[in-house]
Structure formats: C-alpha cells, structure tokens
Amino acid sequence: MQTINLNGNWSFIRSSNQAYAAERIQGGEEVSLPHTWNAIDGQGGSEHYFRGQCWYQKTLDMTAEQLDKRLYLEIGAAGNIAKVYVNGMLAGESRCGYAMFRVALNPYLKSGENLIAIAVDNGSYSDVFPLMADFTFYGGLYRDVMLLVMEDIHFDVIDGSRDGIYLSQKRIDKASFELGIRGTVVNESVKPAAGKIDIMLQDAEGKVKLEHSLELMVAASEQFSIKSKVDNPVLWDGVDNPYLYTAIVSLSIGNTIYDARTIEIGFRTIELTPDKGMLLNEKAIKLKGVSRHQDYGGVGNAITRAHMEEDMSFISEMGANSIRLAHYQHDDYFYTLCDRHGMLVWAEIPFISIPSSDDSENRNAMEQLEKLIKQAYNHCSIYCWGVQNEITIAVENEHTYAAIQKLAATAKQLDPVRLTAQANIYSVDNDSLIHNFTDLTGYNLYYGWYYGNMEDLGKRLDEFHRAQPNVPVLVSEYGVDTNPMFHSYSPRVKDYSEEYQLIYHHNVIKTIQEREFVTGGYVWNMFDFGSAVRNEGGEKGKNLKGLVTIDRKLKKDAYFLYKAYWSNKPFVYL
C-alpha cells in the first residue's frame, strides 16, 4: 500500500449550496489541512462560534495507469458529519466526527481531472454525539487526508479496522504470551488467487523474535487467523519500560508482495482486582492521570504531530503514568505516542451529558464505539473503553440504562480482554444500578469547586467504599478553573487564583494517596481548552481547568505541584 498525503491545496467556502457537490467553488479561500473554521471563534474570539456547513474541494488528476490500482480516500476525521462527492456522485459519508473513515474511489473516478468535494457540517443534530458538552465542537477536515493506492489484492481497508489486521495477546503462563493475528484479505480482481501471509515479530533492536506463514486461497474476501507463541517477551511496563516489538505482516501472491503492514505491539497484562485495584503485569499501579482534549491555542483542533508530541512531553515530564483521552476518539498518532511513552490510556466515545431525544437506541453512540475499538484496537496503551460520561446528568431512566449496558456489552464482544469503563456524576447514589454496568466506574468529583468543600471528596470516596467495599474507585475528573494572572493571599473557591488551584489539587493528591481502594485519578484537565460557551475567570470561550495554558506557554503552579509528587526527577521551578 502506498499512501499519498493530500493535505495541500483545498478550496474552502462556508456555504450549504448543494451545487458545490459538482461545481467548482467560486470566491472561496485556499486552505491546507488539517483545518478548522473555528480556530479563533471556538476559543473565545466571539460570543458564538460558527456551527453549520462548509465545503472543501480538491482536484485529482489521474492517468489511466493510476486507475488500474485500487484507490481509497482516507479522511482522518471530519467534524462532525460529512458527505464525500466524487465528480458530483456521493461516494461516502461519516456521522462519527472523531473517527477515521475511508471511501472507495474507483467507481467514481475517470482519467483526467476529478473533483473531490466534501461537505462538512458541525451543526446540531439530535442523533449525532456529542449533543451537549462544554468543549467546542470544531468543524472541519481537521486531520490528515490521504490517498491509499493499493493492488487489487490487499488487506481490508474498509471493514472498520485501521490496518485490516487485529493483534491480540493473552498470557499463557509465566514466561509466554499467545499472539493472535487476525484480519481480512480482499480480492478485487476477477480471479481467485493463492496467497501467503508472512508474519515477523522483531524486538526493539530489530532482532527477529518469531516468524510464521500461512497459505490461503482468496476468492472475494477471506478471513485469516493465526496464533503464535511468544516466549519470554520483554514486557511493556508502562512509563518504567514502554518496550515495543514490531509486527510486520505481509501478503504475497507468488513472489510478489502485494501488501504489508508494520504494527507496534507491547506485551502486558492488565487486571482490575477487588483488593489491589489495577494491576499492570501483576503489580499494583496507582493511576497518576491527566485528561486531554485535542485542541491548541490559535489552531483549534487542527493540530499537527508536532503539537501532539509537545503535549506528550508536558505530560510525561510531569510524571503522569496515565491519560484519559476525553471525550472522543483522538488522532491515531496520539495513541501511538502513548504506546511509546508507556501511558495507560482511558479511551472513550462522546456519549456524554444527554442521550438522543429521538433515537432511544442511541445508535450513533454504538457506531462511534465500534469505530473507536476497531481503529484503536492495536494500541497496547489502551486499558479500557469508556462508554459514557455523565450521561445521567439530565435523566437517569431505563433507556439510558439500556444504552449503557448495550454499549458495554458491545465493547466486550469486540474486545473481550480490555476493561469497560464509565464516568459518572457525583450525585449518582450508592444504590443506583448504574455502578455495575461496566468493569470500572469513575466519578467526576468537583467538591470545592461546583459544590461542597474540598474535604468532602474524601468523605464521598469513603462512602462509596463502605457501600461497595470490593469495588475499586476511580476519580475520573477533578479540577478548578484558574487564570494564572489571578493571585490571592487568602485563596477561596471561584476566585480563579493559582493559589486556590494549588491547595485544591494538594488536597486531592493527598486524599487519593491515603486511600488504597482508590485506583487513581485524572486531573481535569492537563491543558486549558476551547469552550465557546464559557465566560469565566476573566477569559472568554475557554475552560481554564488546565495545569498549562491553552497556548502551552505557561505552566500554572499546580503543574509543579504534580511534578514534585509524581516525578522522580529533580527539577527547577520555572
């Protein structure tokens, strides 16, 4: 498979004129991707940010020879819904604004000039999640767009997985793991073909750890599944040793390689136990976590790999060992960075705050969950699939119960090994059934900010523990808005001072540390983020609960507090 980056030279216009599916944009602007139209207004530039439809267009020149290949358009994500037209014909669509999607191009392409026109819409739809949240719903083609050029026999690119290959792992005994490799080979030619799949696992130094081959006859679409034993692998041990192997899976017909994938894999076990909490490789681990949204000052969510690397260096330098990638599927590269830095990841979907008013089955949440799991499946850093966040804030009834249970069951079916998780509001009472719907339940607890006193946090956690002594508790969110320009000699709630943020976080750190039954917590949030609906702490359009400002220029004092507690490395406070 060859991938060609199509990020450059797009025409863009804010318009809902359907004629742009087939006609060239007049009077638009030239943009390059990643792009969002809310980079400024989505972070406080105005009272309201633009939510509606825009068009992106690009021409692709194709020779007859190029058209002999199988061509797919890969769109990293389009916020929030999108329709892709090729030469005026609808070729594909997406209603999952944070997931990658692909469109088969061959049926619509001709030799010569082709017009790709994509209508992207971040308006409000009652059946597309998120329906309500404080973060800005940026619109645009905000991740990479690629052209995939493939032979007519190849690993599947359309069934929903990223690589067409799923790698799974299971510990067999003390010394070895079972490595499962399954996937689908697709034959788009007219004749069946005899193929061979070769698997090679290399260690971090490039030494071959195992090799395996499988012959298969491919008619139209053939599934394969291989199980191999990996003896004594070096374990992926979180931040202490994020050791990764590389699996190279190739498909040949005769002596020619038709397709190949290179996938990083770390071997590890993760368990949630009633008495010792979370275990990574059979050792108890307390989650020192932060949450992250995917935006950045001045660029909205149209971030590049350099932005993601910068975010990761802030997080690892502070000494965190876990990240809650809230509240939706993040760029695949960020999960890769988590694999490489040993961060345990809580991955989740935007089934948040309120369920759909006219789809009682909340099918879009299910679709987003399936995409998340299939596309992020191969990342060893992910330990759980979060199926909802505060969905009961408006109403706790049997429809929401059924939706959460169905999402959790689907997650288990797609991935029987990883944990399911949910984040609930503080007021869900101890008798509520909701606690039992997932393996792990976190609570978003804002004592000392939205309600109560800081000290109430410990009391509430103890109350949960008394009610369910065998259930590990996690604080899935906590934090306070802070403007680093504000200071106080007598810090108090809602003064937005750095000093209040400091004492607040100090209290949480101690409260979690002192309680063995608390599996860990996630600071809300690592970075300030675009929240067009907010206007507080002297700043418009931002949630200021970050430990670092949205432009990443300033670390607030609480950042250094965490570093002092969490990191073993000596540091200078500046």
Q: Interface residues with ligand GCU (CB under 6 A)?
A: 133-134, 327, 389-390, 444, 477, 524, 543, 545
> 415 or 477: whose CB is closer to ligand GCU?
477
Query: What does DSSP assign to residue 216?
Result: E
Q: In the complex, what is the shortest distance from the CB of residue 318 to ligand GCU, in angstroms, rounded to a whole number?
A: 20
| 3-state per-residue secondary structure call for 411-423 | HHHHCCCCEEEEE
Q: Which residues, including other chains, have CB under 8 Å from residue 536's CB and lie 6 or more apart? A: 481, 496, 544
Token pair, residue 157, equals 């690119």
> What Å distances lie between residue 444 and 289, 388, 399, 474, 502, CA to CA?
13, 12, 22, 9, 19
| Nearer of residues 420 and 543 to ligand GCU, judged by Cβ | 543
C-beta of 134: minimal distance to ligand GCU in Å?
4
Which residues on neighbouring strands pair with residue 262, listed in sequence order?
A: 248
Alpha-carbon span 344 to 514, nearest angstrom:
22
Cβ within 8 Å of residue 330, ≥6 positions away: 98, 292, 294, 347
Q: How far is the CB of 546 from ligand GCU (least distance, A)?
A: 10
Shortest distance in whole angstroms from residue 51 CB to ligand GCU: 18
CB of 149 to ligand GCU, least distance (A): 40
Q: Are strands 344-348 and 322-325 parallel, antiparallel or unpaired?
A: parallel
Contact between 53 and 121 under an 8 Å Cβ cutoff? The reply is yes
3-state DSSP assignment of residue 218: strand
Minimum CB distance to ligand GCU, residue 23 (Å): 40
Q: Which residue is nearest to ligand GCU (CB)?
A: 444
Q: Which is nearer to ligand GCU, 151 or 295 (CB)?
A: 295
And the tokens for 460?
Answer: 């509430």
Q: Which residue, 327 or 379, has its beta carbon nearer to ligand GCU? A: 327
For 80, 425, 562, the CA distances from 290, given in Å and listed in that order, are 25, 18, 10
| Residues 400 and 407: beta-carbon distance below 8 Å | no
Closest to ligand GCU by CB, 482 or 507: 482
C-alpha dist (Å) from residue 95 to 124, 211, 372: 12, 40, 13
Residues annotated as part of the active site: 390
Tokens of residue 231, six digits: 């003896």
- Taking the complex as a whole, the smallest distance from the CB of residue 407 to ligand GCU amounts, in Å, to 17
Cα-Cα-Cα-Cα dihedral sign, residues 493, 44, 345, 417 = positive
Using the minimum distance from each CB to ligand GCU, give the nearer residue, 311 or 390. Answer: 390
Q: How far is the CB of 350 from ligand GCU (least distance, A)?
A: 10
Q: Is the dihedral of CA 319, 322, 324, 325 positive or negative?
A: positive
Interhelix angle 456-467/498-514, nearest 10 degrees:
30
The residue type of 39 is: A
Residue 250 tokens read as 């190739």
CB atoms within 10 A of CB 172: 12
163/477 with CB nearer ligand GCU: 477
Q: Which of 133, 432, 400, 381 is nearest to 268 (CA)?
A: 381
Choice between 244 and 315, CB closer to ligand GCU: 315
